[in-house]
Structure 1
Amino acid sequence: MSDKDTKAALKQAKANFELYHMLTQELLKFIDKNDIDEFLELEGQRNDLVTRMKELPETEIYRKTEECQQLVQRIKPLDMQVIYKAKAWLNKSRQQNATVHAYDLQNTYTLGNILNKKY
């Protein structure tokens, strides 16, 4: 690989980290708005980006730079917030789903049939 190619790949690695940072910030915005569809779309995009980052060998070279380390230090707390808020949303959603199923009308139909029978 030529020096020019390496520089271009390092530039791409930097752009990938910056895009990851931006997508993480956007994830927080959408989960705060409770816009889960958009959150999931962005999470898919971020996962695709991570795959591309892993496939680019220069990602590891860029990761060792001071510039990247500073960016990673800004990303880590955002990632933790995304994980925390996503887990909280999931738990809340499961609880709401369980509540809905607790009042499921199918159970009352069988009771109604028993009560409506003529003996």
Structure 2
Amino acid sequence: MFKVIAMSAEQEKKMQEAKANWDMYYVLTQELLKFIDQQDIDQFLELERQRNTVVERMKALPETEEYRKTAECRELVARIKPLDMQLIYKAKAWLNKSRQQNASVHAYDLQSIGGVGSLLNKKY
């Protein structure tokens, strides 16, 4: 008692587009990990922007939900989840390190000395 539902060519094309979006998301996630490991934050941010664009396309395509129900997509999501967790961990670690370095640099600012800094800036 299985119902065979034939997809139209249009639906098939949109399902292929949904698959391509998920594949692109996976590839971009792998690349993000590579660039954060290399501390190339400019490239990391550009790839993150591209990945957000893919996510927006996925949200706009109703067939994405249909594709998510497939075994192929569930397998891909299972591979993406650990990568996303690594990415979040590494991004937070980089951010914390950056904040510490920034705080260390600002600790030596003359403005924090108070009165002495204003004496050095006076013209006589």
The reply to whether TM is greater than 0.5 is yes
Give CA deviations for 1:37-83 in whole Å, capped at 9, x if unaligned: 00000000000110000000000000000000000000000000111
Aligned pairs for 1:31-110 within 5 A? 31-108=36-113, 110=115
Counterpart Cα distance in 1 of 2:54 and 2:33: 17
Q: Match for residue 29 of structure 2?
A: 24
Structure 1, gaps ≥5 residues long? none
For 2:10, which of 5, 26, 43 is the aligned residue?
A: 5
Counterpart Cα distance in 2 of 1:12 and 1:43: 20
Aligned residues: 114
Give CA deviations for 1:10-53 in whole Å, capped at 9, x if unaligned: 00000000000000000000000000000000000000110000
Structure 2, gaps ≥5 residues long? 1-6
Deviation of 1:106 after TM superposition, in Å, equals 3.0
Give CA deviations for 1:73-114 in whole Å, capped at 9, x if unaligned: 000000001111000000100011011100113335842665
Q: Which amino acid aligns with 1:61?
A: E
Contact kept? 2:110, 2:117, Cα under 8 Å: no
**Coordinate RMSD, CA, aligned:** 1.7
